């Protein structure tokens, strides 16, 4: 594509206006073209005056405006890339001077130099499943907030649960129905809190059910079922991870997936000195969180329990073999790090999650997706 592109167009897209800059092939300085309203007709008209779709490359940063612009421009025949904002290199002076005009010119200049890293634009169905999955996470956060408010009120008034502390169980729910307060205002407050928790819990359950129904016809559903063969991945964890990562065939090596998830250690090396720090935490935080939660399950001995056996039914032997190999390796790795080297549990879990992502990559390779 580099041989045919003669014009590099940088877009700084916002809700109301879009800044447009142009960098011609060669070493000429990028120029700011104009600012146009953020609607499809105006944008196509503005960039159409600059160059033709065949010899132009349009770039813009991934952000709150989503991928609709990329899909629309591609349908109109334009070459377009959505850029990862974290990979854009800014000079020291540019960090203190940020305007729409400068951002658009920076994108055009760096695109011409080949210094930008594009991201994969998901298709509309993949993005819809991911949004539903993230909505479930948001609703879970709302439910957790209400739980904390209820427990805080009980603590303020000395209403302690007499049973064992095992989380928000049915026994704990029955206990809450017996709690009484002296003042009517307190009774109203506590009842509203409980009703808010009930509404939030029902919303989470409805979202989970919708996820199950929508995934039946999803092209990535075979990958979800394959990932569920691994220990620690139930339906919610598997669909969350797959919805966030998408097609894993774009990663040529498992180390690329580990790096994308931000699970590799940071490093500062110069000369003979080499220093490694904490993990980079780059990439997708939702997928990284689910992966680390699943990695905790490998602190137990390797075993195929009843739930895992049910999830593995109907899956190819190659996938089941990878799952068993992962359990044996990761559980042994956990014990060696915990007992042999005395590493902190959180660091052990991150190390296990990093290796677990490699097994997920291997499992996904066994699934042949329809184009």
Write out pLDDT tens, residues 45-90.
999 999 999 999 999 999 999 999 999 999 999 999 999 998 888 8
Q: What is d(CA 54, CA 7) in angstroms, rounded to the nearest whole number?
A: 10
Cβ–Cβ < 8 Å for 72, 82: no
Q: What is d(CA 315, CA 189) in angstroms, rounded to the nearest whole number?
A: 50
Measured over the CA atoms of residue 74, residue 76, residue 80 and residue 82, the dihedral's sign is negative
For residue 371, the model assigns a pLDDT of 66
User: Would you say residue 267 lies in a domain?
Assistant: yes
Number of domains in the chain: 3
Burial of 129 (0-12, 13-18, 19+ CB in 10 A): buried
Claim to verify: residue 286 and residue 319 sit in the same structural domain: yes
For the chain, give the percent of residues with pLDDT over 90: 87
Radius of gyration from C-alpha coordinates of the chain:
26
User: Would you say residue 149 lies in a domain?
Assistant: yes
Claim to verify: residue 108 and residue 22 sit in the same structural domain: yes
The tokens for 100 are 């729409």
Statement: residue 165 has pLDDT above 90: no
- Of 113, 135, 159, the last residue of a domain is 113
pLDDT (mean) for 29-42? 95
pLDDT (mean) for 182-211? 97
Claim to verify: residue 51 and residue 136 sit in the same structural domain: no
Q: How is residue 283 annotated by DSSP? A: S
pLDDT (tens digit per residue) in 198-252: 999 999 999 999 999 999 999 999 999 999 999 999 999 999 999 999 999 999 9
Claim to verify: residue 231 and residue 354 sit in the same structural domain: yes
Q: What is d(CA 134, CA 179) in angstroms, rounded to the nearest whole number?
A: 34
For the chain, give the percent of residues with pLDDT over 70: 99
pLDDT (tens digit per residue) in 130-149: 999 999 999 999 999 999 99
pLDDT (mean) for 304-330? 96
| Three-class SS state of 117 | coil
pLDDT (mean) for 156-175? 92
Residue 257, domain extent: 221-365
Claim to verify: residue 177 and residue 308 sit in the same structural domain: no
Enumerate residues 6+ apart whose C-beta is below 8 A from 144. Answer: none
Cβ–Cβ < 8 Å for 18, 43: yes
| Three-class SS state of 95 | helix
Claim to verify: residue 207 and residue 342 sit in the same structural domain: no
- Taking residue 259's Cβ as centre, other Cβ atoms within 10 Å add up to 17
CATH number of the domain where residue 17 is located: 3.30.420.40
Distances in Å between the Cα of 91 and the Cα atoms of 88, 96, 98 are 10, 10, 11
- Taking residue 258's Cβ as centre, other Cβ atoms within 10 Å add up to 22
Claim to verify: residue 225 and residue 210 sit in the same structural domain: no
User: Would you say residue 167 lies in a domain?
Assistant: yes
- Of 93, 113, 133, the last residue of a domain is 113
pLDDT (mean) for 153-167? 91
User: Would you say residue 100 lies in a domain?
Assistant: yes
Claim to verify: residue 231 and residue 197 sit in the same structural domain: no
For residue 270, the model assigns a pLDDT of 84
DSSP 154-188: HHHTT----S---SS-HHHHHHHTT---SSHHHHH
pLDDT (tens digit per residue) in 256-280: 999 999 999 998 888 888 888 899 9
For residue 276, the model assigns a pLDDT of 86
| Three-class SS state of 5 | coil
C-alpha neighbours within 13 Å on the C-beta side of residue 320: 12
Claim to verify: residue 28 and residue 95 sit in the same structural domain: yes
Claim to verify: residue 243 and residue 353 sit in the same structural domain: yes
For residue 285, the model assigns a pLDDT of 93
- Of 215, 243, 259, the last residue of a domain is 215
DSSP 11-65: EEE-SSEEEEEEEESSSPPPEEEEEEESSHHHHHHHHHTT--GGGEEEEEE-STT
User: Would you say residue 1 lies in a domain?
Assistant: no
User: Would you say residue 118 lies in a domain?
Assistant: no
Q: How is residue 230 annotated by DSSP? A: S
Q: Which helix (H) or strand (E) holds 73?
A: helix 68-75
Statement: residue 2 has pLDDT above 90: no
For residue 1, the model assigns a pLDDT of 47
pTM as predicted? 0.91
- Taking residue 346's Cβ as centre, other Cβ atoms within 10 Å add up to 9
| Three-class SS state of 109 | helix
Claim to verify: residue 246 and residue 348 sit in the same structural domain: yes
User: Would you say residue 188 lies in a domain?
Assistant: yes
CB < 8 Å & 24+ apart, contacts of 364-368: 364/223, 364/226, 364/227, 364/248, 364/249, 365/248, 365/249, 366/226, 366/316, 366/318, 366/319, 366/322, 367/222, 367/223, 367/226, 367/319
Claim to verify: residue 266 and residue 320 sit in the same structural domain: yes
User: Would you say residue 119 lies in a domain?
Assistant: no
Residues in the chain: 371
The tokens for 172 are 């704990």
Round the average pLDDT of the chain to a whole number and report it.
94
Statement: residue 3 has pLDDT above 60: no
């Amino acid at each position: 594509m580099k041989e045919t592109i003669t014009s590099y167009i940088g877009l700084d897209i916002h809700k109301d206006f879009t800044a447009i800059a142009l960098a011609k092939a060669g070493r000429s300085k990028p120029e700011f073209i104009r600012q146009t309203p953020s609607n499809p007709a105006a944008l196509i008209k503005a960039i159409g005056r600059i160059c033709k779709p065949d010899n132009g490359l349009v770039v813009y940063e991934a952000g709150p405006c989503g991928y609709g612009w990329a899909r629309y421009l591609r349908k109109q025949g334009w070459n377009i890339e959505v850029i990862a904002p974290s990979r854009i290199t800014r000079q020291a002076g540019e960090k203190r001077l940020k305007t729409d005009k400068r951002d658009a010119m920076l994108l055009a200049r760096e695109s011409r130099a080949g210094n930008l890293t594009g991201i994969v634009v998901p298709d509309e169905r993949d993005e819809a499943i991911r949004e539903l999955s993230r909505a479930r996470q948001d609703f879970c956060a709302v439910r957790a907030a209400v739980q904390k408010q209820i427990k805080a009120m009980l603590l303020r008034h000395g209403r302690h649960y007499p049973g064992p502390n095992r989380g928000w169980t049915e026994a704990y729910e029955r206990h809450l129905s017996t709690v009484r307060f002296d003042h009517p205002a307190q009774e109203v407050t506590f009842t509203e809190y409980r009703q808010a928790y009930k509404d939030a819990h029902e919303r989470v359950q409805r979202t989970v059910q919708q996820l199950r129904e929508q995934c039946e016809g999803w092209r990535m559903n075979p990958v979800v079922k394959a990932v569920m063969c691994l220990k620690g991945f139930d339906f919610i964890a598997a669909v969350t991870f797959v919805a966030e990562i998408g097609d894993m065939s774009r990663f040529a090596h498992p180390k690329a997936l580990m790096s994308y998830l931000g699970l590799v250690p940071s490093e500062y090396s110069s000369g003979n000195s080499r220093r490694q720090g904490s993990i980079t935490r780059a990439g997708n935080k939702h997928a990284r969180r689910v992966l680390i939660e699943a990695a905790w399950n490998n602190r137990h001995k390797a075993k195929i329990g009843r739930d895992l056996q049910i999830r593995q039914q109907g899956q190819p032997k190659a996938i089941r073999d990878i799952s068993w190999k992962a359990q044996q390796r990761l559980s042994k790795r956990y014990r060696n790090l915990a007992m042999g080297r005395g590493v902190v549990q959180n660091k052990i879990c991150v190390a296990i999650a990093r290796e677990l992502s490699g097994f997920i990559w291997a499992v996904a390779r066994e699934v042949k997706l329809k184009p």
